[in-house]
Structure 1
Amino acid sequence: MSVTSWNVRFLSHRPEEDVQDVGRRPRALIILDQPFVRTLLERLWNSCALHCCADGGANRLYDTFADDPKTRSVFVPNLIKGDLDSIRDEVRAYYAGKEVPIVHDEDQGATDLMKCVAAIEEKERIEGTLPHDIVLLGGLAGRLDHTIHTLSYLHRLRKTRPRTFAVTDDNVGWVLDSGEHVIHIDHDLLGRTCGLLPVGIDETILTTSGLRWNLNNTPSSFDGLVSTSNHLVPEENEVRVKTTKPIWWTVQLKPEAFK
């Protein structure tokens, strides 16, 4: 059985490492309507080839550079899309003046996040490019229903886009599909606490290595054991996970790494 390899180089301030990642697919950043620190935005922006704002995410981008309008003019997204009930008038006017496509999509059966992903997929079809790895800035903080939507949507999205990450000021997380995985750990970026969350499944059987409290063919479910508040081991540079069902992997970010 093949082993899927993961890393978080897109969070690094060392872009030369990313350039050397031969065969890497392009990345697309989707900025959601949640708070974030400027350093985190800048790192994700620089590691992604395509930049989208989901409706009110445009407000967040605009406000990040409230005291630095010159830099604001550099961080211009490729697209703003959603039902546009959150974007402020002055923000919409500013990006329209920068010739950013601002797409009003009234579909009430899709969230603004889903609409942005659909736009990325349409761009890939038209241009015949490789599928982008997607990085969400936001989605795991704020309102609980929004967080549950992120967990649910990325769980479903794994079937067509196997590498989609969600990043907040505190955490990075993604779905590990059924099978074996190796997660390369950058201790300069990642904090100690991590978790394996059986979201959207009845039960999985987990085997891990590289954690403080490893699991060995251990059942995990919401009705039983959930591996929260597990710890990375400073001496270990990789975590290995074998799971019979898709699960969420989350790991803490070091605040001092994004000052």
Structure 2
Amino acid sequence: MFEWDLGAIIRPGRAKAGEADSEGPRFALIMLNQPVKNMAVLHELWKGSCLRVAADGGANRLYELSQSTEPNTFDSLDVIIGDLDSLTPEARTHFESRGASVIHDPDQESTDFGKAIAHIRAASGPGPIDIAAVGGLGGRVDQGLSQLHHLYLFQPGAAYERGRIYLVSEESVTVQLKPGRHSIRVRRRGAGPEEDVFGKYVGIVPVGEPSVISTRGLEWDVEDWATAFGGRMSTSNHVLPETECVEVETSRDVLFTISLK
């Protein structure tokens, strides 16, 4: 059984500004080159992360925020990495002056997202480290598909041996479920409304290949249900009000996505 607590990395009040939460999961943060509108989630991810990396133009997004409504909040950026074709001189100067390293990787066979993942894993040593990527699934369709591709590409093996990757967009969190049984915590017993970070909408999408899934805790649960592109697909499902953990059993890799409040 794989266990997930998706809210652990974005639950409000986990850490003080600029400090990683020693009681929370160890994870690194990647800022992608997409506009950020859900500032509450970005703040919590920033506070809780142990390493903060901008993928090329992702630094521009942080710089724009630091020059407008969020002065000094994101100055603790650790690394900017990529082919640097999008990084502006202003953003580079700003973050370099505050201690960030700028790494130029001109390899055109890899994306800036992939370079950021590789850097985090190299810098973090041989053990697994989870990664939250902010800005996933926004903007152009080809970029969104590329980000989903990275969930498959950078989580090889059967058991997340290098760590788990979370795509965090303005409206949802998306993860890759490996073949097997998964228990995905979406609420905590006794938690107040202000601690609930997820909405009710859930999707289970077989991107790589057809799968057979069974679910528990959703409004429209299924049992041994074949799902594929061009066939049946579970989207816009609902978490039941009493559900604390959604259970999913899948025969092949699928994407699980849940909406944010």
TM-score by length of 2: 0.88
Contact 1:158 1:177 in 2 (8 A): no
Does 1:58 find its partner at 2:65?
no
Aligned to 2:18: none
Q: Which amino acid aligns with 1:224?
A: G
**Residue in structure 2 matched with residue 33 of structure 1 by the alignment:** 33
Which residue number corresponds to residue 161 of structure 1? 162
User: Larger deviation: 7-16 or 225-234?
Assistant: 7-16
The answer for the alignment partner of 1:191 in structure 2 is 199
Deviations 1:142-180 (A, max 9, x none): 111111111111012221534110001111000000000
Counterpart of 2:121, as a letter, is: E
Could you tell me whether the CA contact under 8 Å between 1:170 and 1:253 is conserved in 2? yes
2:75 touches 2:98 (CA, 8 Å); kept in 1? Answer: no
Counterparts of 1:244-255 in structure 2 under 5 Å? 244-254=251-261
Q: Partners of 2:236 and 2:71 in 1: how far apart?
A: 42
Residue in 1 aligned with 2:48?
A: 47
Runs of 5+ unmatched residues, structure 2: 16-20, 188-192
> Could you say which structure has the higher helix fraction?
1
Q: Match of 2:212, SS?
A: strand
Structure-2 residue corresponding to 1:110: 110
Query: In the alignment, does 2:140 pair up with 1:143?
Result: yes
User: Is residue 81 from structure 1 mapped to residue 81 from structure 2 by the alignment?
Assistant: yes
State the 1:70 CA deviation.
4.6
Contact in 1 for aligned 2:129/2:163 (Cα 8 Å): no
Q: 1:228 maps to which residue? A: 235
CA contact (8 A) 1:177 1:247 kept: yes
The match for 1:257 is none
2:94 is equivalent to residue 94 of structure 1: yes
> Aligned pair in 2 of structure 1 residues 218, 162: CA closer, same or farther (>3 Å)?
farther
Residue-pair matches, total: 243
Q: CA deviation at 1:182?
A: 0.2
Task: Work out the CA distance in 2 between the residues paired with 1:231 and 1:116.
Answer: 34
CA distance change for structure 1 residues 142 and 220 in 2, over 3 Å: closer, same or farther?
same
Query: Which stretch of the first structure deviates more once superposed, 32-41 or 61-70?
Result: 61-70
2:136 partner letter: G
Runs of 4+ in 1 over 6 A off after TM superposition: none
Q: Which residue of 1 aligns with 2:2?
A: 4
Supply the RMSD in Å over aligned alpha carbons: 1.7
Cα distance in structure 2, aligned partners of 1:215 and 1:70: 48
Structure 1 portions without partners, runs of 5+: 255-259
**Which whole-Å CA distance do the structure 1 matches of 2:94 and 2:75 have between them?**
12
Paired with 1:92 and 1:235, the residues of 2 have a C-alpha distance of 48
The answer to whether the 8 A contact 1:54-1:82 is kept is yes
Shift of 1:71: 2.4
